[in-house]
Structure 1
Amino acid sequence: MKDLTEKRKITIMIAIITSLFFSAINQTIIGIAMPRIIAKLGGMEYYSWAITIYLLTSTVASVLVGKLSDIYGRKPFILSGISLFMIGAFLSGFSGDIFQLITYRAIQGAGAGIIMSTAFTAIGDLYEPRERAKWSGVMSAVFGVSSVGGPILGGYIVDHLDWHWVFWIFLPLGIIAFLLILLNFPKVEKRPGESVDYTGSLFLTLTIVPMLLAFSWAGSGPDKYAWGSWQIIGLLAVTIASLAIFLWTQTRVKTPVLPLGLFKNSIFTVSNLAGFFLNAGMMGAIIYFPFFVQGVKGISPTLAGYVAMPMSIAMLLTSAISGQIMTKTGKYKKMAIGGLIVMTIGMSLMYFMNPATPIYELVLLMILLGLGIGVAMPVFSLTVQNAVSPQQLGVATATSQLFRNLGGTIGIAVMGSVMSTNLAKKMMELTASTGNQMNAAPSDPALAEKLALFQNPQNLLDQPKIEAALQSLPPDSKAVFMAMLDMVRESMSYAITTTFLTGAIVAAFAVLITLFLKEIPLRSGKTMAPKAAGPELKPKGAPETN
């Protein structure tokens, strides 16, 4: 596509950005709304699955599509991704219970993985690395815009409209994105001499899925398995066996789904590891901050969206600016390190939040975190694409997406385990110190019934239910109810802020890894990767390039 006119390239980028925005806004609009949706559908104990299944299917889809799009071109896959995403969103709105929602979210996730993988790879097809930096910043800014509008709109919908519209409201945008891609994106002929690695794809899937399931199911809680249980050990055993077979097949096929030679390139390897830890740490803030604002502070979903909005605005500004700076200077290492340090500091300060923390402090912390994430986020996809040959843009970008998704999924699972463990621990401590008020109240049946709400602390996320329970009690019982409410909020605050500390530690690992990132000039033409980046890597049978 390098022979296209600049006008045609910009038209294609508008189409890609539209499809990316459609995918991103549908994710962020759900974030704030999910606690209320789960409260309506029931199955609170399966809350994390609605998020985990999405990440799982998007992870598998993104990495499998990477090599296929190198062979067949990006167009059929980005169209199929948009279609799957729309089908999943449409069906999610009709969910009658949590299990239906999880199933339809899986379809959405597969579509999102395909969109993300092909959209970011398409930049590499259209532009040289220096120009890619600018467009990478723009595409990161798309996430910022969706992060600003999504939570506010999602909160408004669940507060004032039927929750089904959270999934349906942007479906017309998906149709527009589909038509723009269909009409403007050029069709590419199948690359000669290439074949699909079905065996490698199968065993890569059998490696990823059991591993993510093991990390999602392991931990403490009624819906969890102990790390030493046969279920978790069995899943990890399948993971290791499948990984061994996968690695063996990749050394023996003509066109492997994931060329292992890519990992000889230090920039490719370091960038992917840094992206893994960045996403693992970041997901703690993105997923559990709404829990803190709605559950601990007792703020409605609409207002919670406004509290989270400053982080998104900061991400929007810094990602766009950092892309422009990288385009102008060709440098990226200091920006990556600086952004990750700011992110680590922001998450460390979030550990000190408590039920009495004023809203303006939460806003300031969100701004600090957004500044760090916005600077660091665009860097690692760019460094991966800059370090490999043009023929491997698809598989390299998909691998980058794979590591980020793995980091996000494992990070959510680990931090969820940290939160549930510390929540139970703090509840036991406070209950013992207050003389177990829940068990001391059976003389008042109405009060005992209302206090039973706190047997599941996540009921704090349904503020109307809490308010209704409080208003129905006589004045004497309200004091006991409020004391119990404060105790549960303190416990949830302790548990959630501990996840932020865990996220800060993980982000610090990303800083350390990035110190080993080699900095080579961003290429000013669509040439092979410089030798400083590592060995030149070409798929077997690929034509020579000049």
Structure 2
Amino acid sequence: MEHLPLKKKITIMVAVLASMLFAALNQTIVGTAMPKIVSDLGGMEYFSWIFTIYMLASSVTAILVGKLSDMYGRKPFILIGLGMFIVATFLCGTATSIYMLILYRGLQGLAGGMIFSTAFASIGDLFSPRERGRWQGLMGAVFGLASVFGPTLGGFIVDHYAWKWIFWIFLPIGFVAFVLIMRLFPSVPRQSRGRVDYLGSIFLAGTIIPMLLAFSWAGNLYEWGSFQIIGLFTLTFISLGAFLVAEQKVANPVLPLGLFKNSVFTISNIIGLLIGMAMFGAIMYMPFFIQGVIGTSATKTGFIMMSMMLSMVASSTIVGQLITKTGKYKKLAILGLTIMGIGIFSLTTLSGDSTNTDAVLRLIIIGIGLGCSFPIFTITIQNAVAYKHLGVATSSVQLFRQLGGTIGVSIMGAIMNIIMTSNMKHSAALSNSNSSGELDKLADPKLLMDPDQLEALKGNVPQEQLGMFEQIVAMMRSTLSDALNGAFLFGAIMMVVAVILVLFLKEVRLKTSNQEDDEETEDVQVTTRGHAHMSK
């Protein structure tokens, strides 16, 4: 496919980018619409599953389809993914209960995993490693734009129209992308397909699903030491052991273990995991600081968070062009991770006296660093493995980044809870020392996220206790600030580890052809039955 005329390749990439934009917007638009959806459908106790089921389904299918697309080509899977996503998206808008919506979101997740996995791998089919930088940068820009406009548009739609339109409004983009892919994307049959590794696929899913559930639920639905969480981690390790054994005994493993002998593949994926931990932690917890500590409204918080994503879009596009022009990436990776680490660490210097401007400046730094780093490690992995492993290697990047996000958010949440539990004892003692039951309600930090409710509570406090009320609110804001600073410090430490790891990353020359036999590529020969060995 890399020998197609440039005009046709660009047209195909427009269709691929449209496919990704369609899936990414439907992923990001849901958040701001959830309160309205839950108020209509009910099932408040199950609303988190609308996000969880999508994450689980997309994580599993991404890695499985990555391997299958290496065997059968990308086109069938991106078309199946788009078709499923269009149907599931339409069905989401017809849901009449929370259970129906969860089911349809699960179908969306299965389809989304197919789309993202094949879209990123398609860049590798169409362009040589040296040319992929600019397109990986544009992929990052698509995600950034979806993160910027999705939530804002979702809020606008639910304020002025029925919530079902958050799912239906982008359906035309999906139809156009489907037609373009079907007509333009070449079918590339594989010479040797081999047998599908069903057993390995089952054990891999059995490893990923309980692990993601454990980190998602720990500290929220269940305690870390609860039977449920320990049981999920136990199932994870059992499935992982079975997976490792199974993969050594098949001729065509779903995730070739020999790839991990490739230092570029392994180090790049670990760095991707660490980036996911820091990135998703900042995205998840920075709004808590802006609303709960600074006291900004939810609407303005969305605009403040835009600064991070817009700077990411700009730097991702620029860095992608630089990689294509120079063929170098290691110094850019070090620079990007360092800037991102500085940005994450700068969040720990925020306090109750900080302003929205302080938050914006720090988020811009993080976005610049993230944009520099985002496209690089997909390119390093694609460049370091044989072309026959392009799909599974590319999908591993998505898997590790998703795992990092889930693990990082969970650990940061645990750090927050520990610090808040320790620091809240004094404020609890203050509120219990007064005679007003209203002040007892301030023991819940979530109250800081709702300015209207906080103001209503203030109106019920006796005049003589308003001073005490303000003192407790200030103390609660300080407590939340300390807890978030602890979480951000963890993210900064992860970035320091990432910078250290990238120093050990071998900079393999970016190949100018997918068929090039580059001696610098640490390729691996995957097993015949019973064992694997590195190609010499």
The TM-score with structure 1 as length reference comes to: 0.88
Paired residues of 1:266 and 1:533 also in contact (CA < 8 A) = no
Q: What secondary structure sits across from 1:537 in the alignment?
A: strand
What is the deviation of 1:199? 0.6
Aligned position for 2:222: 224
Match of 2:508 among 481, 499, 520: 520
Instruction: Choose 39-48 or 260-269, whichever is displaced more.
Output: 39-48
What is the deviation of 1:466? 4.0
Paired residues of 1:213 and 1:235 also in contact (CA < 8 A) = yes
Distance of 2:40 and 2:341 partners within structure 1: 35
Aligned position for 1:198: 198
Aligned position for 2:24: 24
Against the structure 1 CA distance between its residues 99 and 344, is the aligned structure 2 distance closer, same or farther, given a 3 Å change threshold?
Answer: farther
Matched, 1:436 2:432: yes
Matched, 1:494 2:482: yes
In the alignment of these two chains, the number of paired residues is: 529
What is the deviation of 1:538? 6.1
Instruction: Choose 41-50 or 259-268, whichever is displaced more.
Output: 41-50
What amino acid sits opposite 2:435 in the alignment? A
Paired residues of 2:17 and 2:139 also in contact (CA < 8 A) = yes
Q: What secondary structure sits across from 1:526 in the alignment?
A: coil
Distance of 2:515 and 2:196 partners within structure 1: 26
Alignment of 1:31-430 (within 5 A): 31=31, 50-93=50-93, 102-157=102-157, 163-189=163-189, 191-219=191-219, 223-227=221-225, 229-430=226-427
Against the structure 1 CA distance between its residues 98 and 355, is the aligned structure 2 distance closer, same or farther, given a 3 Å change threshold?
Answer: farther
Against the structure 1 CA distance between its residues 180 and 488, is the aligned structure 2 distance closer, same or farther, given a 3 Å change threshold?
Answer: farther
What is the deviation of 1:259? 0.9
Distance of 2:351 and 2:271 partners within structure 1: 30
Q: Which runs of 5+ in 2 are unaligned?
A: 530-536
Against the structure 1 CA distance between its residues 429 and 477, is the aligned structure 2 distance closer, same or farther, given a 3 Å change threshold?
Answer: closer
Against the structure 1 CA distance between its residues 193 and 362, is the aligned structure 2 distance closer, same or farther, given a 3 Å change threshold?
Answer: closer
Show CA shifts across 1:325-355 (max 9, x none): 1111111111111111111111111012223
Show CA shifts across 1:59-105 (max 9, x none): 11100111111112212222232344344544555667766655544
Show CA shifts across 1:210-252 (max 9, x none): 2222222333x5x22233x333332222222211221111122
Instruction: Choose 258-267 or 155-164, whichever is displaced more.
Output: 155-164
Instruction: Choose 474-483 or 117-126, whichever is displaced more.
Output: 474-483
Distance of 1:309 and 1:459 partners within structure 2: 24
What is the deviation of 1:503? 1.1
Paired residues of 1:21 and 1:142 also in contact (CA < 8 A) = yes
Show CA shifts across 1:41-68 (max 9, x none): 7877767655444322221110011111
What amino acid sits opposite 1:368 in the alignment? I
Against the structure 1 CA distance between its residues 133 and 250, is the aligned structure 2 distance closer, same or farther, given a 3 Å change threshold?
Answer: same
Against the structure 1 CA distance between its residues 295 and 23, is the aligned structure 2 distance closer, same or farther, given a 3 Å change threshold?
Answer: farther
Distance of 1:477 and 1:101 partners within structure 2: 46
Q: Percent identity?
A: 48
Against the structure 1 CA distance between its residues 189 and 533, is the aligned structure 2 distance closer, same or farther, given a 3 Å change threshold?
Answer: closer
What is the deviation of 1:162? 5.2
Against the structure 1 CA distance between its residues 165 and 355, is the aligned structure 2 distance closer, same or farther, given a 3 Å change threshold?
Answer: farther
What amino acid sits opposite 1:436 in the alignment? N
Distance of 1:421 and 1:160 partners within structure 2: 41
Paired residues of 2:261 and 2:524 also in contact (CA < 8 A) = no
Distance of 2:448 and 2:86 partners within structure 1: 32
Distance of 1:460 and 1:176 partners within structure 2: 44
Show CA shifts across 1:353-386 (max 9, x none): 2233111111100110001000011100000000
Q: What secondary structure sits across from 1:334 in the alignment?
A: helix
Q: Which runs of 5+ in 1 are unaligned?
A: 542-546
What amino acid sits opposite 1:346 in the alignment? G
Paired residues of 1:32 and 1:151 also in contact (CA < 8 A) = yes
Paired residues of 2:144 and 2:312 also in contact (CA < 8 A) = yes
Against the structure 1 CA distance between its residues 343 and 195, is the aligned structure 2 distance closer, same or farther, given a 3 Å change threshold?
Answer: same
Distance of 1:506 and 1:94 partners within structure 2: 42
What is the deviation of 1:144? 2.3
Paired residues of 2:258 and 2:524 also in contact (CA < 8 A) = no
Distance of 1:152 and 1:362 partners within structure 2: 19
Distance of 1:463 and 1:320 partners within structure 2: 38
Paired residues of 2:137 and 2:318 also in contact (CA < 8 A) = yes
Matched, 1:537 2:535: no
What amino acid sits opposite 2:515 in the alignment? T
Show CA shifts across 1:156-175 (max 9, x none): 44556555544443233223
What amino acid sits opposite 1:250 in the alignment? E
What amino acid sits opposite 2:352 in the alignment? P
Paired residues of 2:427 and 2:472 also in contact (CA < 8 A) = no
Matched, 1:510 2:506: no
Show CA shifts across 1:273-330 (max 9, x none): 1111111111100111222223333333332221111111211111111111111111
What is the deviation of 1:204? 0.6
Distance of 1:348 and 1:267 partners within structure 2: 27
Against the structure 1 CA distance between its residues 48 and 251, is the aligned structure 2 distance closer, same or farther, given a 3 Å change threshold?
Answer: same
Q: What secondary structure sits across from 2:29 in the alignment?
A: helix
Against the structure 1 CA distance between its residues 90 and 478, is the aligned structure 2 distance closer, same or farther, given a 3 Å change threshold?
Answer: farther
Q: What secondary structure sits across from 1:351 in the alignment?
A: helix
Against the structure 1 CA distance between its residues 426 and 163, is the aligned structure 2 distance closer, same or farther, given a 3 Å change threshold?
Answer: farther
What is the deviation of 1:11? 1.1
Against the structure 1 CA distance between its residues 255 and 188, is the aligned structure 2 distance closer, same or farther, given a 3 Å change threshold?
Answer: same
Q: What secondary structure sits across from 1:344 in the alignment?
A: helix
Q: What secondary structure sits across from 1:532 in the alignment?
A: coil
Paired residues of 2:90 and 2:168 also in contact (CA < 8 A) = yes
Q: What secondary structure sits across from 2:195 in the alignment?
A: coil
Paired residues of 1:12 and 1:184 also in contact (CA < 8 A) = yes
Distance of 2:459 and 2:80 partners within structure 1: 51
CA RMSD across the alignment: 3.0
Show CA shifts across 1:86-143 (max 9, x none): 4454455566776665554433332222211110000011111111111111111112
Against the structure 1 CA distance between its residues 90 and 314, is the aligned structure 2 distance closer, same or farther, given a 3 Å change threshold?
Answer: same
Distance of 1:387 and 1:234 partners within structure 2: 37
